[in-house]
Amino acid sequence: MAQMVRANSIDDLNAWKTAAGDTQRAHGVYALRRFELEPSDHAAAYAVLTFIPRTEEEDLEWLYLATPLCTNEELADKQVLAELDARRPHDLAIAVSLAPDKMFDYISYAEIAVQNLQSDYAEQMEGVCHSKHAEFVDAVNQLPPARKKWFLAKIFNPDGCHALAHPEAD
């Protein structure tokens, strides 16, 4: 999978896709890297947004991305996968701006994403809020009342497009 992240072209990415295997993790890495290589492609944006975790268990798959799958995996491979995961909040923000019909999924994931104390997900939401404000507010208003209250109190203020949750300093 690290080779997919290192790919500098769609052809290279596709060549490594088969070798990465037919797992949810491999498909997610492929979609994210494809979007990074084609950041204005609506289909690539939509594809990456389909991998937004809906549960904490699904999110763990991304958090464990840098965890070796076998004992002989190189430290450099783990590092490149960790860097891809660190870019994910930024990439998702760009993707949802291209595919705002996935805004509710994007907003819903914030509750899970900010549990990672290193994640800048809420800060990345600021640009989305500014560029797609009506869609952003509509998605927030679709949250169930208790989740909406938590979102507005602890994660994000859509009125001023300000993050309330911030990553811890290293």
Encoded amino acid at 140, one letter: V
pLDDT (tens digit, 9 = 90+) per residue, 135-151?
A: 999 999 999 999 999 99
Q: Which helix (H) or strand (E) holds 156?
A: strand 156-157
Average pLDDT, the chain: 91
pLDDT (tens digit, 9 = 90+) per residue, 45-88?
A: 999 999 999 988 888 877 776 565 555 557 788 889 889 999 99
Give bridge partners of residue 156 from the DSSP assignment: 163
pLDDT of residue 163: 98
Query: How is 44-105 classified by DSSP, letter by letter?
Result: HHHHHHTT--SSHHHHHHHHTTTS-SSTT--HHHHHHHHHHHHHHHHHHHHHHHH-GGGHHH
Q: What's the mean pLDDT in 8-25?
A: 89
Distance between CA 47 and CA 80 in Å, rounded?
Answer: 21
pLDDT of residue 67: 63
Rounded to the nearest angstrom, the gap between the alpha carbon of residue 136 and the centroid of all alpha carbons in its chain is 16
Residue 26 confidence (pLDDT) above 70: yes
